[in-house]
Chain A
């Protein structure tokens, strides 16, 4: 499968714990995005990387959230001291920088904070 992959697909954690998600983009894509989606809403942008550089961060991304893409390939999103309000689907997308910048999404990681 040459699409975007994410791991784990589901994560259940207790409030206050740290969690880390991984995203592997389509191999030739140089842009990688993280989104969060809650029930009944469209995905909301969190952050994006071009190669290894994190170029934008949303105001939604509190200081408990950190993302990395150390070698310009896979990326991790860490949430520290999770809160119940962090429960959501975390989606990763990748694209190849061109005129249209079409983004392709991974299957997402569904986080439940108890």
Chain B
């Protein structure tokens, strides 16, 4: 089982639509959670951190369910500029030495269509 799994996508949605991405992680000792956005041939950029209480940033809402080891991202009123790959990222223990590292999902590609 992969450490971080995401919906394979691609998601093709019309402007104004609401779209949801799901992600599961395997390591219950994971401490922090993020969504990154990556445009084609560019570096990943932090979209938002994800907290247990859920958090919202404008049109974006992230949820974390630690019991189910599940993370979600909801985008409301999709814009053309939202077209990108969305990476689910988990900060998990990397080795027995107490080190934590980011583990990325493969990403879900979103295309918002006019």
Measured CB to CB, the residues of A under 8 A from B are 33, 40-45, 48, 55-56, 91, 100-108, 110
Contacts and interface: CB of A to CB of B under 8 A. Distances in A.
Contacts, number: 50
Given A40-B106, A42-B87, A43-B104, A91 B94 contact: no
- Chain A CB within 10 Å, residue with most, of B41, B91, B101: B101
B57 interface: no
A11 to B, nearest CB: 15
Contact of A91 (B4, B43, B107): B43
B49 A45 contact: no
A100 B46 contact: no
Question: Which size class do B's interface residues fall under?
Answer: 20 to 34
A105 B34 CA distance: 14
Given A40-B106, A42-B106, A104 B46 contact: yes
Nearest to B6: A42
Given A55-B97, A56-B99, A107-B42, 6 more contacts: A33-B101, A101-B32, A104-B46, A105-B44, A105-B45, A108-B43
Interface in B30-68: 32, 34, 41-46, 49
Nearest to B49: A100
14 contacts: A40-B106, A41-B106, A42-B4, A42-B106, A43-B104, A45-B101, A48-B99, A55-B97, A56-B99, A56-B101, A100-B49, A101-B32, A102-B49, A103-B46
